[in-house]
Amino acid sequence: MSELEQPHAVDESSSQAPDAEPFTTRAARGVRDFVDQIANSSPARLAVIVFVIVDLGFALLLWLPVAAKHGQDTDFVDAVFTATSAVTVTGLTTVSTAAQWSVFGQVVILVAIQVGGLGTLTLTSILALAIGRKLGLKSKLITQEALNIGRLGEVGSLLQIIVITSISIEAALAAVLSIGFLAEGEPLGTALWHGVFYAISSFNNAGFTPHTDGLVPYDHAGPTAWLILLPVCIGVVVGSLGFPVILVLRQVGFRFNRWNLNAKLTVVTTSILLVLAWLLFTLVEWSNPATLGGMSTPERLFQGFFASVMMRSGGFNLVDMPDTSQVTLLLSDAMMFAGGGSASTAGGIKVTTLAVVFLAILAEARGDQSVIAFFRTIPDSVLRIAISVIMMGASVVLLGSAVMVALTHLPLDHVLFEVISAYATCGLSTGVSAASPDAGKIVLSVIMLVGRIGTNTVATALALRSRRRLYSYPEERPIIG
């Protein structure tokens, strides 16, 4: 028999090595490979994967018996919905936060709100810095894009500033709110807990409340109302501006001429929408006996101001939204869809998106060749992204509303309100979430996830997909309008 025809000896030890390998080692290798695949994913895919993993983790914690109050059972779908609402800082609920969840469950919700407010990818970078690891190039690029940081080398230091600023703002709000709850007669421990809860919930625009009736019991005349309701409004407004704007204010203060274009557009548009919603809500609901009709003039004005702050992103309410008029529901739909600032704890299409499209319309009406704001020219690529974000957001709302109407058979105006609230991560509700079947709750959960990660992720993906062509096609103008 030739050498080539001779059978080779089989090394039994090498052939049995994979089977003899301990299960824990193989499991660890599998987990490591999975983590490596996630880390090497595109930023858009990474955002989705991380959000889903974090969401399911908090859902499992809320599903534990210890998370519910004694004698309460938690349906898994309700746990998933609540976790999603907390991680996406929305505030929609299918069960009462005060009646369903124990202290442990409320702490889990509060941690989920904080994680969702900072952003899971941003928080991952912060944790890496906290344990002494250096940020990789991909982590820096993702964080730079999310927070609109100019220089790549500033990412690490600015992340630390974000953490310090967030904690400082929340601590200041918690101190004032705790004093307010103490003045309302609550015990010291309870007042401190409620102060911390509302501080984190308001700054992150979450809308969760540890009280059965929310903030409604504190809607009365007296100094305590100013120590509870006004700080909540301030927390919501500051949180909705976004970390890029907060960083600008921290660096240059209130010198408007030294702000960058993003800060100017965000603050100006936010102020206009705030005043406009305040006037319209107060005017429309002035004589409505179910909302503002039986109040004094100062109370009506404050109620209108509170509603104008909350209807874009805050999610807290002093009046029941089903009791408001159809005009108010439509106004709220528009304000929720607009949302807050980019890279903020608020949702929606973002106020800068709305501002860019409005400026483009104004430029077209004037016959200008370029879109200009505060002596700066806005690139055409930004306008294309803004239009894409609006159209994709409207498509999600349209599809979600159609599915929810088919599942719940509830009135379209209430369903549309709930879907926009979910997409815009606002949290105001007409009761559709609690009345929905399990399939409807899952649909709303998906819409909340899309609303929280979709707009920024899609905008970033569109910006990164730009490419230069070495040739151009002939121009031809279709008929528009």
14 within domain boundaries? no
Contacts (Cβ under 8 Å, ≥6 apart) of 34: none
Q: How confident is the model at residue 132 (pLDDT cuts 50, 70, 90)?
A: very low
Triad 227, 231, 232: Cα angle to 5°: 120
d(CA 382, CA 371): 10
The confidence score (pLDDT) of residue 219 equals: 77
Mean pLDDT of 36-64: 77
Question: Which tokens sit at 9?
Answer: 């000896």
The set of residues, in sequence order, having a beta carbon less than 8 Å from that of 323 and lying 6+ positions away, is 288, 290, 291
In a domain, 296, yes or no: yes
> What value does the mean pLDDT take over residues 407-434?
95
Digit-coded pLDDT (tens) for 52-93:
888 999 999 999 999 999 878 899 999 999 999 999 999 999
**CB contact set of 30 (below 8 Å; sequence gap of 6+):** none
CB 385 within 8 A of CB 349: no
Residue 139 has pLDDT above 60, yes or no: no
The three-class DSSP label of residue 10 is: coil
What is the rounded CA–CA span in Å between residue 431 and residue 433?
A: 6
Q: Which of 7-11, 133-137, 214-218 has the lowest mean pLDDT?
A: 7-11
Question: What is the number of structural domains in the chain?
Answer: 1
Instruction: Calculate the CA dihedral of residues 176, 178, 179, 185 and round it to 10 degrees.
Output: 150
Cα 204 off chain centre by? 8
The answer to the question of residue 469 being in a domain is no
For residues 170 and 176, the answer to whether their CB atoms sit within 8 Å is no
Domain of 168 in residue numbering reads as 34-463
Q: How confident is the model at residue 13 (pLDDT cuts 50, 70, 90)?
A: very low
Is residue 387, in this structure, part of any structural domain at all? yes
**What average pLDDT does range 254-261 have in this prediction?**
93
Q: Per the domain annotation, does 13 fall within a domain?
A: no
Task: Please give the share of the chain, as a percent, with pLDDT higher than 90.
Answer: 56
pTM here is: 0.85
Domain annotation covers residue 292? yes
User: Which residue reads 């503002």 in tokens?
Assistant: 292
* Choice among 108-122, 133-147, 201-215, 239-253 with the minimum mean pLDDT: 133-147
DSSP state of 68: B
25 in a structural domain: no
The rounded mean pLDDT for the chain is 84
